[in-house]
A and B are shown apart, each in its own frame.
Chain A
Amino acid sequence: MAAGIHAGLSLKDARSALPGLLTEQIDRESDAAALLALADWMVRFSPLVCTDGNDGLLLETTGCDHLFGGEAGMAAALSVRVAEAGYGHRLAFAGTPGAAWALARTVAEDGAPVILPPGAERTGLAALPVWALRLSGTVLTLLRRFGLTRIGQLYGIDRKALSRRFQSREAVEAVMLRLDQALGVRAEPFAPLRAPPDYAARLPCPEPLSDSAGISEGLSRLTEELCAKLSAHGLGAQGFVFHAFRSDGETRSLTVNMARPVRKPAHILRLFRERLDRIDPGFGIDLLLLEALRTAPMEAGSQPLSADLAMTITDLGMLSALSDRIQARLGEGRVMIIQPEARHTPDMAERRVPFTGQLPEDTPPPPDTLPGLRPIRMLDRPEPIDAVAEVPDGPPLRFVWRRVVRRVVKADGPERIAPEWWTHLPTPGGGAQAVPRARDYYRVEDEHGHRYWIFREGLYDDGRGNHPDWFMQGLLA
């Protein structure tokens, strides 16, 4: 500043003013990422945090400051933490986001936070320059032309008079909106980065934790506490997030998901234990936080003593617990159930869906599942085969599948499965779509006793393409 260097100066001018100037390319993306990480870390002070521009953080501290002994104590704790992490900062507390913004950017200095008591915005902001109202450049120019440089000068001006002078309705509205927001006359929306959790438990550590035994012990205490809270409200949660705040400003988080709402500490700890060693304590962890996500009421029924006396044979709770344990270790979406689908094509008649604590409804089987009609192993996708048939509409005499010639000795069929014409309706724009073809399925057996389920896609004279192709769909029992 003393050498006349300020923001907006070109690099050439700055260099000529100060030849020994050290410069570095600005990296906006990394800065934004660092700001987001810092915002995440601020959760230790308040659950509602959002970023402000590319260099500010906004914390909703209502109801949080008493945990640190008032706003002064909170400001001191925040300053120490942020300074330890190596960031220069200016801090202001006020009753409205606008007032806090203005104070932090004008009055506050590094290490000297400003605290404006609630209700004192009018007097506290009067002496500040108008640019502290978060106005755009054109509006500021207009205000300067009228000689309005301090926020206090705007208080006494009649709004109608201002709009007459400005000639621009948007500019007047911008000034009035920002002024009202700063004074708390109009509400300002606050969009936190993360929705606050419904249920959470926190454990500040007087001594930073540096080993996994300490983290594990802290986690089990938090789990007990959170489960007691959930249990008091008759709830369970389907997800738990564990945050470990390191003293150097980094955060490590672990998430576990469940198929059904749970609140059993042993089960939750078991799922966390699979991945607890991924938390690197670094120079020490001084705050642990456990959040419960997707809470839902739990039906707390008594368990039958013996499975023989149960109404249903399958205990969904135990099945979900098994699925949770497997997915915590092997990854999400590994445990699946088979869901029947109302489709014509056999390879689409069922779908594998992730197990979500519910089994498919007990529907009666479709009429075509007579014994022996469907393969015992269905290939993931039909594999093309080279087939030689005696007559166009008959089963093949021999075919080549996976490079081995197989001679058919017994055959049964065809079972014609019509295509789903409704999935291939012509598009309004006249787009050319492949015309679906009927499939003729045959059950064949080769000379070695292998039984196959093969099909011919299309008929010879259906006029829907070239010669039909043969495919292997699956292996029969």
Chain B
Amino acid sequence: MDIATLKARGLIRPVTAAPTQPDAFPFGLGSHGVHEVAETAYGHWAAATGFVLGMLHPTQKGACLWICQSNVSRDAGHIPAAALQQMTGGREPRLCIVVHKSAEALWSAEEGIMSGAVRHVVVELEEADFTATRRLALASEKHGVPVTLLLPHTCSGATAAATRWRVGTQLSAMNRHDPRAPGQPRYRAVLERCRSAPAAVGQAFDLEWNDETLSLHMVSGMAAGPAAPHPAPSFATRHGHQRRAG
């Protein structure tokens, strides 16, 4: 049995990750290298989290190491397992680590990369400097484990990460079943830095979450609400009915 037959039957696969185009969206985010995802302004942490979860490679199987600085989780809350299941579809195990300092978070991330036990490392932290990100980038390159750093809006300055995204939330898409209810979440991700494709810096991507394919789609226009305004019944009539029933 030659190599081609084995490959065709799916018995062998290349050990390295599938080749991706580092010069096209998402520029390697979630598949290899160190990437930073920051919120546009205070309060957009949920959008940044949604963007990261949407970009977690669905074909990658294995445990995920999720490191969170305690200040961040106190302010923005934690990610329940139900949300992870909704967003990634998989039920991959997740190892959570709560740390107090950024240095501890970065050290744990490096340990996780080098352990060979996890397939993805996500770090939520307050700040990351050039030296620390450079260390992570070298380790990530050597061991082939992607790292995503979730940073607050205050992060700035040069780091060794491959890309930096600024993610903010947008008005949700129209809900086909109920025009008054929020629809699919939409985000706007701006590429702030990019090593592999400097020409793409400054590009903005409007993304919409699709709960059937469990992925983020690029959308052209952002229409907020129904296209044609029409008088909708007020909340009172909608819920008044329910009240009578109950």
- Could you tell me which A residues sit within 8 Å of B by CB distance? 306-308, 313-315, 318-319, 321-323, 325-326, 329-330, 334-338, 340, 346, 349-350, 352, 355, 359-360, 362, 365-366, 369-380, 390-395, 409-412, 414, 443-445, 448-451, 474-477
Residue among A329, A349, A371, A477 making CB contact with B107, cutoff 8 Å: A329
Residue of B nearest to A339 (CB): B81
Give chain A residues whose Cβ lies under 8 Å from the Cβ of B7.
Answer: none
A-B contacts, 19 listed (Cβ < 8 Å): A313-B62, A319-B95, A322-B111, A322-B112, A322-B117, A334-B98, A334-B99, A340-B81, A365-B82, A366-B82, A374-B83, A375-B46, A376-B49, A376-B79, A392-B243, A412-B180, A450-B43, A474-B77, A475-B76
Cβ proximity bits B227-245 to A, threshold 8 Å, 1 near / 0 not: 0000000111011101100
Residue among B111, B182, B211 making CB contact with A412, cutoff 8 Å: B182
Q: Which of B126-134, B164-172, B194-202 contacts A (4 or more CB under 8 A)?
A: B164-172
B97 touches A477 (CB 8 A): no
Q: A371-B86, A378-B79 are in contact. Are A321 and B180 (CB under 8 A)?
A: no
Asked if B27 is at the interface of the complex by the 8 Å CB criterion, the answer is no
Give chain B residues whose Cβ lies under 8 Å from the Cβ of A326.
Answer: 97, 108, 111
Residue among B53, B86, B181 making CB contact with A411, cutoff 8 Å: B181
Closest 4 CB pairs of A and B: A412-B181, A371-B211, A318-B117, A475-B46
Asked if B87 is at the interface of the complex by the 8 Å CB criterion, the answer is yes
Q: How far is the CA of A451 from the CA of B43 in the complex (A)?
A: 11
Asked if B61 is at the interface of the complex by the 8 Å CB criterion, the answer is yes
Q: A445-B182, A449-B170, A477-B50 are in contact. Are A323 and B98 (CB under 8 A)?
A: no
Residue of A nearest to B101 (CB): A330
B97 touches A476 (CB 8 A): no
B171 touches A449 (CB 8 A): yes
A313 touches B79 (CB 8 A): no
Residue among B96, B115, B118, B170 making CB contact with A336, cutoff 8 Å: B96
Residue among B169, B180, B184 making CB contact with A448, cutoff 8 Å: B169
Give chain B residues whose Cβ lies under 8 Å from the Cβ of A308.
Answer: 13
Give chain B residues whose Cβ lies under 8 Å from the Cβ of A365.
Answer: 82, 85, 91
Residue among A313, A337, A443 making CB contact with B61, cutoff 8 Å: A313
Q: Given A378-B79, A448-B171, 11 other A-B contacts at CB below 8 A?
A: A313-B61, A314-B92, A325-B111, A338-B94, A375-B77, A377-B49, A377-B83, A394-B235, A395-B239, A414-B239, A451-B182
A338 touches B87 (CB 8 A): no
**In the complex, chain B residues 135-182 whose Cβ is within 8 Å of any chain A Cβ:** 168-172, 175, 178, 180-182
Q: Tell me the minimal C-beta distance from A34 to chain B in angstroms.
A: 36
Q: A313-B61, A376-B79, A380-B77 are in contact. Are A337 and B15 (CB under 8 A)?
A: no
Q: Tell me the minimal C-beta distance from A470 to chain B in angstroms.
A: 15
Q: Tell me the minimal C-beta distance from A339 to chain B in angstroms.
A: 9
Q: How far is the CA of A325 from the CA of B117 in the complex (A)?
A: 13
Q: How far is the CA of A444 from the CA of B183 in the complex (A)?
A: 10
A322 touches B118 (CB 8 A): yes
Q: A445-B172, A450-B43 are in contact. Are A476 and B80 (CB under 8 A)?
A: no
Asked if B9 is at the interface of the complex by the 8 Å CB criterion, the answer is no
Q: Tell me the minimal C-beta distance from B182 to chain A in angstroms.
A: 4
B86 touches A378 (CB 8 A): no
Q: How far is the CA of A417 from the CA of B148 in the complex (A)?
A: 35
Residue of B nearest to A322 (CB): B115
Q: Tell me the minimal C-beta distance from A351 to chain B in angstroms.
A: 10
Q: Tell me the minimal C-beta distance from B188 to chain A in angstroms.
A: 9
B62 touches A377 (CB 8 A): no
Residue of B nearest to A369 (CB): B82
Asked if B120 is at the interface of the complex by the 8 Å CB criterion, the answer is no
B63 touches A349 (CB 8 A): no
Residue among B15, B61, B81, B235 making CB contact with A306, cutoff 8 Å: B15
Q: Tell me the minimal C-beta distance from B196 to chain A in angstroms.
A: 27
Interface core residue of B45, B65, B76, B117 (most chain A CB under 10 Å): B117
A380 touches B78 (CB 8 A): yes
Q: How far is the CA of A350 from the CA of B136 in the complex (A)?
A: 31
Q: How far is the CA of A349 from the CA of B82 in the complex (A)?
A: 10
Asked if B23 is at the interface of the complex by the 8 Å CB criterion, the answer is no
Q: A326-B97, A444-B182, A449-B186 are in contact. Are A477 and B117 (CB under 8 A)?
A: no
A412 touches B178 (CB 8 A): yes
Cβ proximity bits B99-122 to A, threshold 8 Å, 1 near / 0 not: 100001001100110011110000
Q: A318-B115, A322-B118, A412-B182 are in contact. Are A391 and B236 (CB under 8 A)?
A: yes
A375 touches B171 (CB 8 A): no
Q: How far is the CA of A450 from the CA of B185 in the complex (A)?
A: 9
Q: Tell me the minimal C-beta distance from B53 to chain A in angstroms.
A: 7
Residue of B nearest to A335 (CB): B97
Residue of B nearest to A383 (CB): B77
Q: How far is the CA of A375 from the CA of B170 in the complex (A)?
A: 16
B93 touches A391 (CB 8 A): no
Q: How far is the CA of A475 from the CA of B81 in the complex (A)?
A: 14
Give chain B residues whose Cβ lies under 8 Å from the Cβ of A325.
Answer: 111, 115
Q: How far is the CA of A340 from the CA of B104 in the complex (A)?
A: 28
Asked if B73 is at the interface of the complex by the 8 Å CB criterion, the answer is yes
Interface core residue of A321, A329, A373, A376 (most chain B CB under 10 Å): A376
Give chain A residues whose Cβ lies under 8 Å from the Cβ of B115.
Answer: 318-319, 321-322, 325
B116 touches A451 (CB 8 A): no
B171 touches A445 (CB 8 A): yes
Q: A318-B116, A372-B86, A374-B82 are in contact. Are A330 and B104 (CB under 8 A)?
A: yes
B96 touches A337 (CB 8 A): yes
